Copies of this chain bind each other. A is one copy, B any other.
Amino acid sequence: MKRVIKLYDTTLRDGAQTLGISFSVKDKLAITEKLDKLGVHFIEGGWPGSNPKDMEYFNTVKKLKLKNSKIVAFGSTRRTAVKASKDGNLKALLTSGVQHITIFGKSWDLHVHKVLRTTLQENLAMIYDSVSYLKKKESFVFFDAEHFFDGYMANAEYALKTLEVAVEAGADAIVLCDTNGGMLPRWVQNIVSNVKKEFEFELGVHLHNDSGMAVASSIVAVEEGCNHIQGTINGYGERCGNADLCVIIPNIKLKLKLNCIPDKKLKHLTEISHFVSEISNMKQRDNQPYVGAGAFTHKAGIHINAVIKESKTYEHILPELIGNKRELLVSELSGKSSLVVKAQELGHKLIKDKNVTKKLHQLLQDLEHKGYHFEAAKGSFELLLNKHLGKFKKFFILESFRVIVEKEKGEEIVSEATVKLKVNNKSEYTVAEGDGPIDALDSALRKALYPFYPVLSEMSLSDFKVRVLDEKEGTASKVRVLIQFQDKEKSWNTIGVSENIIEASWQALLDGVECKLMKERAKGRI
């Protein structure tokens, strides 16, 4: 049987320390369910002694029916000169009601002197007392040796002593932490190997990424015999983050050929990574290994041509294995051949050397130069393609629009939009209010078009992004607006670019509506 590496996720605790992340209890429960679905072995839910939100999580999570994961509560050793049984933090851990508990203690003498301000001996007693107290209460106890690697480099004897004490007190697993994240893989390799010589014990690592090595060193630790790896989804965590489980998991399964999550779960990885990034309100890194939206995206013409022939030429694994997919870009750097492929996907046959293709290629280059990015706006690209090929018949003619935003002292701000347009020679002139100028425009536009195209009521806006392009220009900067629309069948993205945010949004709104109408006309519904 393959060796199984146990995964311990701390997105909900260490990940919550990320600059910009703030989880609600509801968020934490939603993430818990996804991690369970992924098949992670342990989910560290929080620090019940540190805040009421975490305690509320532990009270609520009991009601979830988890299939694969155990919930773990995190906390520190007892305070100095306090009995374990009287320590509020340890009590809170037991009150959380979970079976698995992680206790962190100091293993670097510097921390004992400078932060705890106590003696080395008292620190050992704090570790021993806390672990044995929890063991008496029949918990499964992980001992997190905080700063173990730095501690080992400064005073190996004392660092090892802290582990020994935890083991004597009954800890079920020992986790070596690189809390400052400054280790290099070879250092982790040597230290783990030395610890393994001293202890016959279930050993894990918890690594931070301050030297950019958290994933690499975790893999090295597995190679050295650690069977327990801690990390977070997307590598969230304080400063430079924790080890990214979304990268570690496929490296363990596909590269080291060891087990961690079940085979059939691996294809959920990309979806779960994106889900957590969304719920955390963090932009997903396009270039995140394995799961990033651009991890299998090809832009250079030479690569696109090769990948079409044989994916192995520029892809280290099949993207489907982890639920990601290949993307061939429409970009100014890519040649006309990828444009031909792209058009073909949309049902249009372009011939590479024909004039109409060259002109389209030129048009795309010009627009990209102005700040358009069709990579992220396939709806607008499809529309442009149809218009360029003379296959688009107008649904309406726009006459004018106006937006007024007004704020009187002591009153609520008011946004009003008017739209004037013609459908089949019939004029429509509508006005609407909204939550902000763009919402008002959206409402006014729909109000004008509904009588003619009731299918528009099926579509809604699902995403709205604004990016300032030349930020140095201040309020006169060019902005790029990306909007995502959806109906029951699919979603589509559109784009607008202008120095005027209203105009950029308007372009993207119009494209979104025209895409929907074009789709429905093709189906004969209009």
Contacts and interface: CB of A to CB of B under 8 A. Distances in A.
A114 interface: yes
A220 B217 CA distance: 12
Given A110-B310, A289-B240, A436 B499 contact: yes
Contact of A287 (B239, B306, B464): B239
B405 A436 contact: no
Interface stretch (A12-20, A133-141, A193-201, A377-385): A12-20
Contact of A333 (B17, B247, B409): B17
Interface stretch (A155-163, A260-268, A314-322): A314-322
Contacts of A96: none
Contact of A251 (B212, B293, B469, B509): B212
A20 B373 contact: yes
Interface size of A as a range: 35 or more
Contact of A238 (B20, B22, B219, B303): B303
Contact of A309 (B114, B281, B499): B114
What is the count of identical protomers in the complex? 2
A244 interface: yes
Contacts of A375: 19-20
A197 B220 CA distance: 24
B404 A287 contact: no
Contacts of A209: 287, 289
User: By CB atoms of chain B within 10 A, which of A20, A290, A369 has the most?
Assistant: A20
A283 B286 contact: no
Given A180-B314, A316-B180, A406-B401, A19 B294 contact: yes
Interface string A180-218: 111011100000000000000000000001111101110
Interface of A: 16-20, 22, 51, 110-111, 114-115, 179-182, 184-186, 209-213, 215-217, 219-220, 223, 235, 237-241, 244, 247, 250-251, 255-256, 278, 281, 283, 285-290, 292-300, 303, 306, 309-310, 312-317, 329, 331-333, 368-369, 373, 375, 398-409, 413, 415, 434-439, 441-442, 460-469, 471-477, 479, 483, 498-503, 505-506, 509
Given A239-B298, A402-B406, 11 more contacts: A17-B300, A19-B294, A115-B309, A115-B310, A215-B216, A239-B297, A240-B289, A398-B409, A413-B502, A434-B476, A437-B437
